[in-house]
């Protein structure tokens, strides 16, 4: 145990004394998240919308005037019917439609509750979310101005995303970055740090010590497990406080599944370090072998459904695909373990197999 | 009692295509300072790695402290000390941290065996807060030796500890080894520098994966089969060419200030003739019998094999 | 060896911050001379050699290499020198002939010249049947001899050798020196560093660097007389013993 502690301490010295590695370790997620944050908070001005007002009463007119006053929107057409909306979307430049039902004001005053439907063109998910938020805010404003006279009334907005109902791209970016960063950091760091010892000749001395070679590996992996958890924390904090993207489901479940994924990645790193002899090789293997498939087959950059069946099958062996599904379900959709147990099981199986192979293949000797 | 025994060890790489060492047998006695002398690529490192359980031999058996290097590798690993050829310590850890780390990994502590490394460690102690990467070559070497010794090994394997190190540091290093020997540690050391051979008690000359000779340095020198002469003249480069073309000279090699030559049978009987003919072309010719060095013996054995 | 000076330095100095790596080095080396450049680890040999090869700009002082100034004419210097070190010499994953063609090419030799010269070269080294073998598969001694021949392939005025014989077997080491002598006979100046003291004896003159300064410079025999000893080892030891710094 004393040996183990000494070893882990040594690994931390290595990490903290190597500024470049630290930069890579913590800079990468921060930069990615912040870049994304900017993409999201970009204000959109004078976006063309259409309004379909079946009610034509005081309330709907007041809301429309508020919308007109906002510099986010320009009302292009006041359409008469539902059917014309889809045509307007297909015609191109219209991004959002707001529909007031018949008897909007009546419902509001008599039942204390009324509905407004917002339909957005979600083929550009980023814009769609932003515009929907703008519109919802305006409606909420109006609701707030009525609260003095009728405190209990409520306007519900029903949002529909056309063409891309799951809004792929926006909220999905954060789980994507999580998968990418965790995988990259764990695989790259473990493989490089082990291969570095081989290259420097220190591995020879470690092998010729009474220290169990497996413990060498575990104590190499442990610091990166901890660092990756810190990384995970940073990503989550940034996404909650910078991007307003809360963790809807159980935080514990998210952290637990992330830890599982980190271990998968560490096992992969270990496997690479067994197969390579120089830091360069390990780096190339990690980047080419991990980064590319992760980008391609995780689903956050290119929707998997659109790929040929063969590639979809390939995607099934990429661990980050499953992790991505889990994070999306837990973090974005707020689902519980019952919804992701299959994916967790697949990931667990992969981890066991990878760890098994890398431990079996780990050399207690040279060559 | 023998501390290290090799019995017909053969090792190949690339699935048998590259032969590293072939049919090597020798033993090292307890408390001995044993040198493995040979150029790069002779197979020194391969042998060291087999003995330190890092490589499996293709055939043959080897024992260290009576333990088999294949079956009892765990036992051996807790008993020996090893300093690999390219061992460079952890450059980003300080002197103290390096030593502390290796002590702990080897289930020991600096305090426990301080007496063993004290003499060496006091020389680098003033720099104990310095990172190993910022030490001079000589100091790195001393620190590496301390790290290899910190768990009081019974056998110490030093693979080319003096390569690339200047004469002054080399001398110091060998002084340290002599003092360690007094402590009863068996030491196996390899080196490409032939002049270091005489500092060992016994040596094995190794070339192209085979042992050329094993004996005490004195014994090897005594086995030199011919009479050896040292010769010099004003123009050494020209002299070398003339000697090579002479039918009276069997072998001729440059050895620093002199050329070392052996003569043919005819040459031995007519040394005066050789001298006379050389004096016609060269100024200040001096010829005298000389004692062979290990390098002379190595060359001789290399050519015989 | 002639009286024509090919390397001339005057108070050549290189500072790294407060640290003076090479301190007012002054010496001349002649055409065809074999000049041994010795020193303890960290004495500043590498720094000095880099300046002479035009790879590093001096902090102060003057030097001309093959008649060219080390400050302004580094490109011309590089064309007129050859360089070989123990660590980097040839590409292991190229064949013997590919290496020769490559290095001939970067020094601007024509294809015809390269073809003629490379044939002569591999015949002379006894490598004729190995021309298409990967350099990595050759024994170390052959590699070093080949590397030297490639370093002087473009007929440079000076060739710099950084520990060319480290770890080489004693016979090959001597064959290597035969090549050095042959180059010197052709008028190429050989500037060599080594850890083997017997090799110091083969040099026409040697310089000893200690703590960035040149502490001694003369023919081996004169130095031995000066220190009242018969071996270069003792000379080295006497001079380097007081060294304050290492690498």
What is the number of structural domains in chain B? 2
pLDDT in tens, A115-133: 888 888 776 676 777 788 8
**Beta-carbon separation of C197 and B167 below 8 A:** yes
pLDDT in tens, C44-83: 898 999 999 988 999 999 999 999 999 999 989 989 999 9
Count chain B–chain C contacts defined by CB atoms under 8 A: 102
Among C40, C139, C230, beta carbon nearest to B166: C40
A2 at B interface, C-beta within 8 A: yes
**Residue B225: strand pairing partners:** none
Closest Cα in chain C, distance from residue B93 (Å): 18
Q: Can you read off the two tokens belonging to residue B63? A: 């024992």
Torsion of CA C185, C189, C192, C197, to 10 degrees: 50
d(CA A168, CA A173): 8
The answer to whether chain B touches chain C by having 3 or more C-beta pairs less than 8 angstroms apart is yes
Q: Can you read off the two tokens belonging to residue B203? A: 């040596």
Q: Is A80 exposed, middle or buried (0-12, 13-18, 19+ CB in 10 A)?
A: exposed
Does residue A139 surpass a pLDDT of 60?
yes
Give contacts of A 197-256 with B, CB under 8 A: 200-202, 204-211
Q: Which of A7, A203, A205, A215 to mutate to test the interface with B (most CBs of B within 10 A)?
A: A205
d(CA A200, CA A198): 6
Torsion of CA A206, A212, A218, A223, to 10 degrees: -50
Q: Considering only CB atoms, which chain B residues are within 8 Å of C37?
A: none
**Residue B255: strand pairing partners:** B258
Q: Considering only CB atoms, which chain B residues are within 8 Å of A200?
A: 86-88, 90-91
Q: Where residue C125 falls among pLDDT bands split at 50, 70, 90? A: confident
Closest Cα in chain C, distance from residue B144 (Å): 16
Q: Which of B49, B54, B103, B147 to mutate to test the interface with A (most CBs of A within 10 A)?
A: B54
Among B49, B90, B107, beta carbon nearest to A366: B49
Closest Cα in chain C, distance from residue B254 (Å): 7
**Beta-carbon separation of B147 and A10 below 8 A:** no
Query: Which subunits count as partners of chain C given 3+ CB pairs below 8 Å?
Result: B
Does residue B57 surpass a pLDDT of 80?
yes
Whole-number average pLDDT of chain B: 92
**Shared-domain flag, residues B170 and B276:** no
- Percentage of chain B surpassing pLDDT 90? 72
CATH code of residue B169: 3.40.50.300
- Percentage of chain A surpassing pLDDT 90? 10
Averaged pLDDT for residues B62-66: 94
Identify the three-state secondary structure at position A46: coil
d(CA C155, CA B55): 46
The answer to whether chain A touches chain B by having 3 or more C-beta pairs less than 8 angstroms apart is yes
A1 at B interface, C-beta within 8 A: no
- Point out the domain boundary residue: B174, B197, B222: B222
Does residue B133 surpass a pLDDT of 70?
yes
pLDDT in tens, B193-247: 999 999 999 999 999 999 999 999 999 999 999 999 999 998 888 899 999 999 9
Give me the residue spans of the domains in chain A: 2-38+171-361, 43-162
Does residue C27 surpass a pLDDT of 80?
yes
CATH of A43-162, one of 3.40.630.190, 3.40.50.300, 3.40.1710.10, 3.40.50.11900: 3.40.1710.10
Q: Where residue A113 falls among pLDDT bands split at 50, 70, 90? A: confident
Query: Which subunits count as partners of chain B given 3+ CB pairs below 8 Å?
Result: A, C
Q: Where residue B58 falls among pLDDT bands split at 50, 70, 90? A: very high
Q: Considering only CB atoms, which chain B residues are within 8 Å of C198?
A: 254-256
B80 at A interface, C-beta within 8 A: yes
pLDDT in tens, A95-111: 788 888 888 888 877 77
d(CA B128, CA A218): 29
Q: Where residue C9 falls among pLDDT bands split at 50, 70, 90? A: very high
**Beta-carbon separation of A210 and B77 below 8 A:** yes
Residue B304 inside a domain? The answer is: no
- Can you give the length of chain C in residues? 247
d(CA B206, CA B46): 12
Give me the residue spans of the domains in chain C: 5-239
Q: Can you read off the two tokens belonging to residue C178? A: 């035969």
Q: Considering only CB atoms, which chain B residues are within 8 Å of A204?
A: 49, 52, 54, 82, 84, 87
For residues A198 and A280, the answer to whether their CB atoms sit within 8 Å is no
Averaged pLDDT for residues A321-340: 87
CATH 3.40.50.300 fits C5-239, yes or no: yes
CB atoms within 10 A of CB A6: 19
For residues C234 and C227, the answer to whether their CB atoms sit within 8 Å is yes
Among B40, B169, B295, beta carbon nearest to C140: B40
- pLDDT value of residue B98: 94
**Beta-carbon separation of C171 and B302 below 8 A:** yes
**Shared-domain flag, residues B177 and B244:** no
User: ipTM value of the model?
Assistant: 0.86
Residue B170 inside a domain? The answer is: yes
**Shared-domain flag, residues B47 and B141:** yes
CA A204 from chain center: how many Å? Answer: 41
Name the residue in chain C with its Cα closest to that of B296.
C170
Helices (H), chain B: 44-51, 73-79, 95-105, 114-124, 137-149, 167-182, 217-222, 236-245, 265-269, 271-281, 294-304
Does residue A243 surpass a pLDDT of 80?
no
User: Please, what is the Cα angle at A109 between A103 and A115, to 5 degrees?
Assistant: 50
For tokens 């070679």, name the residue: A213
B158 at A interface, C-beta within 8 A: no
Residue B10 inside a domain? The answer is: yes
CB atoms within 10 A of CB B215: 15
Residue B302 inside a domain? The answer is: no
Q: Which of B104, B106, B159 to mutate to test the interface with A (most CBs of A within 10 A)?
A: B104
DSSP for A240-261, please give it: HHTS-----S-HHHHHHHHHHH
**Beta-carbon separation of C41 and B167 below 8 A:** no
Among C139, C237, C243, beta carbon nearest to B41: C139
Q: Which of C109, C76, C80, C83 is nearest to C191 (CA)?
A: C83
**Beta-carbon separation of B167 and C240 below 8 A:** yes
Of A166-175, C181-190, C232-241, least confident by mean pLDDT is A166-175
Among A14, A205, A207, beta carbon nearest to B92: A14
For tokens 């998240």, name the residue: A33
Averaged pLDDT for residues A286-312: 79
**Beta-carbon separation of A7 and B84 below 8 A:** no
**Beta-carbon separation of B92 and A18 below 8 A:** yes
- pLDDT value of residue A46: 75
* Residues of chain C by 3-state class (helix, strand, coil), percent to 5: 40, 25, 35
Residue B93 inside a domain? The answer is: yes
**Shared-domain flag, residues B57 and B205:** yes
CB atoms within 10 A of CB B70: 14
**Beta-carbon separation of B257 and C221 below 8 A:** yes
**Beta-carbon separation of B167 and C233 below 8 A:** yes
Closest Cα in chain A, distance from residue B124 (Å): 20
Query: Which residues does C183 contact at the CB level (< 8 Å), separation at least 6?
Result: C148, C152, C159, C190
Among C181, C231, C240, beta carbon nearest to B168: C240
Q: Can you read off the two tokens belonging to residue B181? A: 């020997």
Q: Considering only CB atoms, which chain A residues are within 8 Å of B55?
A: 365-367
For tokens 């703590």, name the residue: C211
- pLDDT value of residue B221: 96
CA A286 from chain center: how many Å? Answer: 21
For residues C191 and C66, the answer to whether their CB atoms sit within 8 Å is no
**Shared-domain flag, residues B235 and B218:** no
Residue B100 inside a domain? The answer is: yes
Q: Which of B38, B39, B163 to mutate to test the interface with C (most CBs of C within 10 A)?
A: B39
pLDDT in tens, C89-118: 788 889 999 999 998 888 888 899 999 999
Phi, psi (deg, nearest 5) at residue A264: -55, -45
Does residue A170 surpass a pLDDT of 90?
no
Among B77, B91, B97, beta carbon nearest to A208: B77
Q: Can you read off the two tokens belonging to residue C76? A: 């011309």
d(CA C178, CA C124): 12
Among B192, B207, B257, beta carbon nearest to C167: B192
**Beta-carbon separation of B39 and C169 below 8 A:** yes
CB atoms within 10 A of CB A39: 13
C233 at B interface, C-beta within 8 A: yes
pLDDT in tens, C195-243: 888 899 999 999 999 989 999 999 999 999 999 998 888 898 888 877 7
* Full residue range of the structural domain in which residue B204 is found: 2-222
d(CA C215, CA C40): 12
**Residue C214: strand pairing partners:** C209
The answer to whether chain C touches chain A by having 3 or more C-beta pairs less than 8 angstroms apart is no
B152 at A interface, C-beta within 8 A: no
Averaged pLDDT for residues C166-192: 92
Q: Considering only CB atoms, which chain B residues are within 8 Å of A364?
A: 73
């Amino acid at each position: 145990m004393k040996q183990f502690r000494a070893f882990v301490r040594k690994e931390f010295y290595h990490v903290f004394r190597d500024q470049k590695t630290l930069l890579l370790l913590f800079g990468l997620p921060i930069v990615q998240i912040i870049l994304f944050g900017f993409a999201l908070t970009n204000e959109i001005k004078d976006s063309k919308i259409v309004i379909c007002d079946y009610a034509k009463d005081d309330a709907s007119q007041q809301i429309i005037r508020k919308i007109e006053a906002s510099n986010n929107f320009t009302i292009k057409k006041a359409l008469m019917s539902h059917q014309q909306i889809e045509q307007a979307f297909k015609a191109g430049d219209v991004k959002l439609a707001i529909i007031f039902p018949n008897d909007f004001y009546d419902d509001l005053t008599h039942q204390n509750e009324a509905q407004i439907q917002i339909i957005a063109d979600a083929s550009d998910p980023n814009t769609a979310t932003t515009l929907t938020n703008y519109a919802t805010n305006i409606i909420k404003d109006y609701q707030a101005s009525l609260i003095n006279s009728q405190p209990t009334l409520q306007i519900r907005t029903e949002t529909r995303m056309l063409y891309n109902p799951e809004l792929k791209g926006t909220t999905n970016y954060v789980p994507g970055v999580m998968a990418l960063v965790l995988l990259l950091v764990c695989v790259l760091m473990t493989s490089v740090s082990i291969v570095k010892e081989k290259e420097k000749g220190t591995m020879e001395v470690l092998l010729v010590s009474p220290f169990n070679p497996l413990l060498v590996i575990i104590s190499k992996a442990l610091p990166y497990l901890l660092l990756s958890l810190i990384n995970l924390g940073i990503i989550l904090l940034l996404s909650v406080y910078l991007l307003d993207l809360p963790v809807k489901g159980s935080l514990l479940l998210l952290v637990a599944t992330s830890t599982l994924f980190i271990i998968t990645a560490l096992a992969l790193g270990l496997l690479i370090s067994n197969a390579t002899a120089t830091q360069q090789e390990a780096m190339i293997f990690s980047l080419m072998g991990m980064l590319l498939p992760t980008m391609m087959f995780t689903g956050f950059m290119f929707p998997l459904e659109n790929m040929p069946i063969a590639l979809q099958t390939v995607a099934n062996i990429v661990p980050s695909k499953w992790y991505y599904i889990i994070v999306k379900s837990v973090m974005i959709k707020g689902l519980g373990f019952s919804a992701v147990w299959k994916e967790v099981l697949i990931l667990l199986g992969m981890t066991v197999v990878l760890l098994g192979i890398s431990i079996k293949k780990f050399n207690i000797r040279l060559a | 009692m023998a501390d290290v025994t090799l019995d017909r060890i053969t090792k190949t790489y690339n699935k048998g295509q590259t032969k590293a060492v072939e049919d090597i047998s020798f033993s090292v006695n307890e408390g001995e300072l044993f040198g493995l002398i040979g150029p790069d690529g002779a197979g020194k490192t391969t042998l060291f790695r087999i003995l330190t359980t890092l490589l499996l031999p293709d055939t043959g058996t080897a024992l260290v402290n009576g333990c088999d290097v294949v079956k009892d590798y765990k036992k051996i690993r807790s008993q020996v000390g090893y300093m690999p050829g390219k061992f460079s310590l952890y450059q980003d850890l300080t002197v103290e941290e390096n030593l502390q780390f290796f002590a702990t990994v080897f289930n020991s502590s600096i305090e426990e065996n301080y007496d063993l490394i004290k003499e060496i460690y006091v020389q680098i102690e003033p720099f104990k807060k310095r990172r190993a990467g910022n030490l001079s070559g000589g100091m790195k070497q001393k620190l590496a030796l301390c790290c290899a010794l910190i768990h009081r090994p019974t056998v110490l394997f030093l693979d080319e500890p003096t390569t690339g190190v200047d004469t002054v540091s080399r001398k110091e290093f060998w002084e340290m080894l002599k003092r360690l020997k007094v402590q009863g540690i068996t030491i196996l050391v390899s080196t490409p520098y032939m002049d270091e051979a005489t500092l060992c008690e016994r040596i094995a000359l190794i070339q192209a994966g085979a042992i050329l000779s094993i004996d005490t340095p004195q014994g090897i020198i005594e086995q030199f089969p011919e009479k050896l002469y040292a010769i010099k003249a004003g123009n050494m480069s020209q002299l070398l060419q003339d000697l090579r073309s002479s039918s009276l000279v069997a072998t001729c090699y440059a050895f620093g200030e002199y050329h070392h030559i052996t003569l043919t049978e005819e040459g031995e009987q007519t040394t005066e003739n050789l001298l006379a003919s050389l004096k016609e072309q060269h100024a200040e010719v001096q010829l005298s019998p000389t004692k062979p060095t290990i390098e002379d013996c190595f060359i001789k054995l290399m050519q015989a094999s | 060896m002639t009286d024509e000076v090919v390397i001339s330095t005057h108070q050549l100095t290189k500072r790294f911050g407060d640290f003076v790596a090479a301190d007012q080095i002054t010496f001349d080396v002649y055409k065809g001379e074999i000049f041994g450049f010795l020193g303890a680890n960290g004495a500043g040999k590498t720094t000095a050699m880099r300046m002479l090869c035009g790879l590093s700009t001096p902090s102060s002082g003057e030097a001309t290499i093959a008649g060219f100034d080390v400050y302004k004419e580094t490109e011309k210097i590089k064309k007129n020198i050859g360089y070989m070190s123990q660590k980097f010499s040839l590409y292991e994953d190229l064949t013997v002939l590919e290496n020769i063609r490559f290095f001939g090419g970067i020094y601007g030799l024509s294809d015809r010249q390269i073809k003629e010269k490379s044939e002569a070269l591999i015949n002379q080294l006894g490598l004729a049947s190995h021309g298409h073998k990967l350099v990595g598969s050759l024994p170390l001694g052959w590699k070093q001899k080949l590397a030297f021949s490639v370093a002087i392939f473009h007929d440079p005025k000076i060739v710099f050798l950084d520990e060319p014989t480290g770890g080489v077997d004693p016979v090959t080491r001597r064959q290597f020196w035969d090549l050095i002598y042959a180059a010197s006979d052709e008028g190429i100046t050989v500037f060599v560093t080594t850890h083997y003291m017997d090799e110091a004896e083969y040099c026409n003159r040697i310089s000893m660097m200690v703590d960035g300064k040149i502490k001694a410079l003369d023919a081996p025999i004169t130095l031995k007389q000066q220190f009242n000893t018969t071996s270069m080892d003792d000379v080295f030891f006497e001079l380097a013993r007081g060294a304050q710094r290492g690498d």
